[in-house]
Structure 1
Amino acid sequence: MKKLIFISQFISAGILSLVSVAAIATPPQTNDRATYNVILKDARTTQVSTLEKKIEALDEKSQTVKIVETETLAGHKPRVTNSEIVLEDVQAEYSVFSECGDYGGNYEKILVPAGLLEVCGIPLNNEEEVGKAWYGLVPFGLVKKEVKLFGTNVLETTELQSFQQGR
């Protein structure tokens, strides 16, 4: 069984729509974009932020992908992070849905602000978090994540608010 390691946090609210996953089942492309609402909650506080991930450039020759992440915490200026990731790692995120059984997951449908999506629900239990993640045929793969962060009382909920397939 494959294991997932999550590096980013995500979540949001918006208008609901039915999305045809067949129209977006493509490999990573320049300008792929996904926006998430992220809620971190403990006994005393709730922190809400928005995370946008975008593929800025995809270099087939060097097999790398430049990703820009913009995290906006309510009431604060956006924080922008640029990273260069091995193409194979990004492709792995995109392929979780099609390899659902390899990750110990099950296919189901869930409703998030981005719409009603067919997903692969995967249990998570690693050194950083315990909970569940749902992956679909959307840019970056992640549709929803609900976890408790180890060593804390923090619950993280991440939901796909919107997405756009690149060209």
Structure 2
Amino acid sequence: MGIVTPEFGLIFWQLVIFGIVLLLLRTFAWKPILSSLKERESSIEGALRMADQAKLEMQQLKAGNEKLLAEARMERDRILKEASDVSNQLIEQAKNKAIEEGNRLTLQAREAIQNEKNAALAEVKNTAAKLSIDIAERILRRQLTDEPAQQQLVDSYLKEVKLN
């Protein structure tokens, strides 16, 4: 059983060696390991803070982009409404101008028709007067071929004319 139960000297030297190794490790290994772990922990914390900050900035940028998109949509809608209003005004102005032009042309046509009608009536009157004069002249020539008939006609006209 000598293999399973260690002797006192072996345990003593193992404890001394373990203490020396522990002292050496504490002096030379634990401080650099702990400082590197602390450094790593602080760098991870910093990275997490930066990630949170980047996430916050991304949310702010996203909100800003959504606001810009909303403003752009509102501006687009306003411009489209203005364009629609302007086109409706232009169409209305064109309609009004066409109606006014049609009324003006109708009035001019009526005036021209009236002028032509008056001119035609005047010409008919002139023609009728010329015909009446020609007919009267022919009748008078026929009736006044002899001297006593002429004298009788002059006398009858003189009677009809009232002297002032």
TM category, shorter: under 0.3
| Higher CA-based Rg | 2
Q: Which has the higher strand share?
A: 1
Give the TM-score taking structure 1 as reference length.
0.12
Q: Structure 2 length normalisation: TM-score? A: 0.12
Larger relative contact order (CA 8 Å, sep ≥ 6): 1
